[in-house]
């Protein structure tokens, strides 16, 4: 009974956040609530069917390969050899989105990998295209927030972004982020870099050299595409060491269902991380990514 009461309380809290956000966005009541009902509630039923059918429920699509930060716990740090960086062509983005649309994709779409998405000036148009083609997808922007302002925030929300997940990588609170959370609580979450676990990505960030013999479901549920269009094993593969194809010359379906990709997934599902070089010392929990 306590659990049921808490769910009801959380639901009304969510409605309050929606209404505060709607009023400040100045969006029509019926349109706003029907849209959010579809995305937050009805979509989940379709998502379960999608996972059972093809597994794929989330995507990291890097439109912009550059980042303005050099965090010590990231491969973009100067202490690591830097990969080749560039910008995904619009045609590649549209091809990916078109193929997801054909799948009736209703999972997560995020325009990031190791680049900062808000550096990409094309982002509002790219998001608009994704929303038009994938009306039931959940579009999440993961950002350091350095280039976020209220005007850009509102444009991206109205173009189809459902939520911003912002990490403050400085030691002081930022007034403009607090303002955005207060005015648009249903569409932005802000956390500080000190408040979350730092993953030893591919066992190279902290070089702990500890092997976890537990299953990893990331490659079974998440599509990761870098700015070149290369499909990678997972979001830990900064240097693109495990590539399974390129969306510019193959379809997502061909790559996702390839024998080689499936072989890697089975190994990781069985917890055989030591059989894959970039997974051997990775300490990620291996849960289904969202």
| pLDDT tens readout for residues 91-120 | 999 999 999 999 999 999 999 999 999 999
HSE-up of residue 181 (Cα within 13 Å, Cβ side): 14
* Residue 160 backbone zone (phi > 0: left; psi -120 to 50: alpha; other: beta): left
What mean pLDDT do residues 241-245 have? 97
| 8 Å CB contact between 149 and 119 | no
With 0-12 / 13-18 / 19 or more C-beta atoms within 10 angstroms meaning exposed / middle / buried, residue 126 is buried
Is the model's pLDDT at 4 over the cut of 80? no
Q: What is residue 11's predicted lDDT score, i.e. its pLDDT?
A: 85
Q: What is the CA radius of gyration of the chain?
A: 19
Report CA torsion sign: 68, 189, 61, 206: positive
Residue 223 to residue 250: CA distance in whole angstroms: 14
Residue 186 to residue 182: CA distance in whole angstroms: 10
Q: Please report which confidence band the pLDDT of residue 196 belongs to, taking 50, 70 and 90 as the band edges.
A: confident
Other C-beta atoms closer than 10 Å to the C-beta of 251 total 14
Task: Write out the DSSP string of 38-86.
Answer: IIIIIHHHHHHHHHHHH---EEEE-SB---S---TTSTTSTTSPPPP--
Q: Which tokens go with 277? A: 């070089």
Q: Which tokens go with 126? A: 């790219």
Q: What order of strands is seen across the sheet that includes strand 243-246?
A: 188-192, 163-168, 138-143, 108-110, 58-61, 222-225, 230-232, 243-246
| 8 Å CB contact between 184 and 208 | no
Q: Please report which confidence band the pLDDT of residue 9 belongs to, taking 50, 70 and 90 as the band edges.
A: confident
pTM metric for this prediction:
0.96
Short-list 122, 171, 164, 120, CA closest to 144: 164
| pLDDT tens readout for residues 30-79 | 999 999 999 999 999 999 999 999 999 999 999 999 999 999 999 999 99
User: CB-based contacts of 194: which residues, under 8 Å, 6+ apart?
Assistant: 171
| pLDDT tens readout for residues 119-134 | 999 999 999 999 999 9
């Amino acid at each position: 009974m306590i659990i049921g009461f808490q769910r009801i309380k959380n639901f009304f809290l969510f409605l309050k956040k929606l209404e505060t956000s709607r009023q400040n966005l100045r969006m029509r009541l019926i349109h706003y609530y029907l849209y959010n009902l579809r995305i937050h509630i009805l979509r989940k039923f379709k998502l379960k069917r999608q996972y059972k059918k093809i597994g794929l429920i989330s995507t990291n699509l890097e439109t912009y390969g550059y980042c303005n930060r050099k965090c010590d716990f990231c491969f973009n740090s100067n202490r690591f050899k830097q990969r080749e960086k560039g910008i995904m062509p619009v045609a590649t983005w549209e091809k990916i989105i078109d193929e997801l649309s054909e799948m009736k994709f209703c999972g997560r779409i995020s325009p990031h990998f190791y680049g900062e998405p808000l550096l990409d000036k094309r982002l509002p148009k790219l998001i608009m295209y994704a929303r038009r083609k994938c009306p039931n997808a959940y579009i999440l922007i993961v950002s350091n927030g350095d280039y976020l302002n209220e005007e850009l925030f509102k444009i991206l929300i109205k173009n189809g972004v459902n939520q911003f997940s912002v990490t403050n990588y400085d030691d002081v609170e930022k007034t403009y982020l607090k303002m955005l959370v207060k005015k648009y609580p249903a569409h932005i979450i802000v956390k500080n870099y000190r408040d979350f676990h730092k993953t030893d990505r591919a066992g190279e960030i902290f070089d702990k050299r500890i092997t976890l013999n537990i299953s990893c479901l990331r490659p079974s549920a998440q599509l990761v595409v870098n700015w070149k269009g290369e499909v990678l094993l997972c979001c830990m593969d900064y240097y693109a060491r495990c590539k399974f194809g390129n969306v510019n010359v193959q379809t997502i379906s061909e790559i996702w269902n390839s024998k080689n990709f499936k072989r890697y997934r089975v190994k990781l599902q069985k917890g055989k991380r030591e059989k894959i070089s970039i997974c051997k010392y990775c300490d990620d929990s291996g849960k289904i990514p969202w």
